[in-house]
Structures are given as structure tokens and as C-alpha cells.
Amino acid sequence: MTKWRPGAIVVLVLLAACLIGGCQGGDADTAETTSVVKAYMGAKADLPPSVTQIELTVTGDDMHTIVKILSLNDFGELEDVFFEVKVSPGIRLFTVMCRDAGSFSLYRGQRQVRIDPKETVDLEINLAAWAAVGGRVTYPDGSLLSDYDEMAFDPEIATNDLGLYEVESRLTTLTLRLQPAADAYAFAEVDLVEAGQQTVTNLVLIDPTDSSRPWISAAVPHTDLAAGQQISLFGQGFTVGDAFTVWFGAPGDGAAAAIVDVATDSRLQVTVPTDVPVQGLLFVCWTNDEECSNGFGFN
């Protein structure tokens, strides 16, 4: 699946002597106040085989950050996944990342607790599945929205110098919105249903004040299109009851898609045709193909 990370992810490797009980940040706290925390993440059997590495980070005021990384193999015959760390007293934030071979955190969990001096604590950290969506943001003429970082919506979307963005989220129907100017707006809805799912969703900035024709803001997904697959187009002007034709390729010459439903004035659902080309432009047309939307790239 496509990745969008601009840089390498640094992975810390523990020495064999650091397994489960050892290796942590060098706090200056004495043994007279240090507490022992055993942080449980659940049964090893409940984690998918794609999880290759589990990372625990402990942070808080007046302490050095503690980072511990283990693989599932490090737990041997043990049934539970856990870390045992020595922590100084205070309010401490425990963060767990369960990563796959590509270093994406499939499952994540956090727990903030107050640790008293010389305490032994059994701490359960619930894990939630995460996924990601990303792609390129362009204007209708194909120019990039580069180095954008003004955050106006949740989730926040920022682009790099290549116009690429990435958003990570818990599993949900994620609504993406972006408006760098009054006459430039993009949106889409992406169903994140599987841990580690990474969906490519390119966004085109449309003019929300122009109601003269439908504009496509996003089509999901944009890669690995297969005949019979249902996708959603997002934009404006898809009036319920109107007749549209969706073309994969030049209008009247490409492959026409079957329209499943004009769900709302901003969402159009179609079925990918059997003869869909490998790449090209997608258009929404009406009035016997005499009027068409902006072309939306797919590959």
C-alpha cells in the first residue's frame, strides 16, 4: 500500500539485556522514592501477527523520558504483553505504540496516572486500532497546494513541498476538510475500518461559491481501481434526481460508470466499469455530456 512518509523513521533497538525488565531513561531519582510500574497491554494472542514491535514511552515533569521497545518474540511463552519500568513519583503519561513492519502504529493507547513514592502499580492500558489517509492536494488546473499549515478544521491537514498530506486516526468515518482561501475548498469522507489501513485520497480545491456546475473534490479510493468496485465522489452540485454520467477517461470516449446513488448534493456513488483504464481523468457530465465537471485524476 502506498506510503506518504517524507522521512525515515528511527527505530531504537534494545540490547538483549534490556528485555522486559531493564533499559530506561537515566533518572536521577534515588531508590528511596522510585516506584515500579507493570503496564499491561492485554493478551499477546489478541494482537495481529502484523505487529512486529511494541514501544512504551513514559513522560512527565521533572523526569527523563523513558522509552522501551520490544518485539512480540521477546515475550517468549508469556501470555500477556507488558512492560515493567521504574518510574519517579508524579503525574506520568504512559503511551503505547504497536507497530507493523513499516513502523505504522496499528494499535495505540495512553494512560495518565499519579505515581506515589515507593509504590508498586499494575497499570492496564487499553489499545485502539488506528489507520491513515493521505494523498496530494491540488487546484483544478493541477497546481499544488504546497507547504500549507494553517489549521482550520479537525482533523488538521498540512501539506509538504510536494502538496502531500497525511492524517492518522482511530477507526471511524473520517471527514476531511481543507479551505486555504474563500474560493478554494476540498472535502471527502473516508471509512477507516481496519487497523493499519492506509487509503490514498487526493483532494482538489474547488470554488464553493461557483454553483454553475458540479465540481469533484475527491474520489475514494484513487488507487487499485477494480471493475465492480463502488466508490464515492465528493464535490458540489450533485442534485438528487438529476441525471449524470461518470466517465473514466474522456467524456463520450472513455469508460462510463454505472451510477448507484446520488446520495446528497455533495456525494455521488458509482460502480467502476469493467473496462476502466489504468490511469486518466474522471469526469461527471450531464445534459447529454454537453457539460462536464473538472477532470479528476486517477491511477
- Asked if residue 1 belongs to a domain, the reply is no
Could you tell me the pLDDT band of residue 293, with boundaries at 50, 70 and 90?
confident
Where would I find the beta strands (DSSP E) of 64-170? 66-70, 80-87, 90-99, 105-115, 120-124, 128-138, 164-170
- Asked if residue 7 belongs to a domain, the reply is no
Residue 7 has pLDDT above 70, yes or no: no
Distance, in Å, from the CA atom of 251 to the CA atom of 33, rounded to the nearest integer, reads 74
- Asked if residue 4 belongs to a domain, the reply is no
| Helix, coil or strand: residue 275 | coil
- Asked if residue 5 belongs to a domain, the reply is no
Range of the domain at 208: 131-298
Q: CB of 202 within 8 A of CB of 137?
A: yes
Mean confidence (pLDDT) of the chain: 82
Distance, in Å, from the CA atom of 82 to the CA atom of 149, rounded to the nearest integer, reads 38
| Helix, coil or strand: residue 73 | helix
SS3 of 214-249: CEEEEEECCCCCCCCCEEEEEEECCCCCCCCEEEEC
Residue 20 has pLDDT above 50, yes or no: no
- Asked if residue 6 belongs to a domain, the reply is no
Residues 139 and 275 in one domain: yes
pTM to 2 decimals? Answer: 0.74
1-10, 243-252, 280-289: least confident range: 1-10
Residues 220 and 280 in one domain: yes
Residues 122 and 141 in one domain: no
- Asked if residue 94 belongs to a domain, the reply is yes
Q: Provide the CATH number for the domain around residue 258.
A: 2.60.40.10
Domain boundary among 126, 147, 182: 126
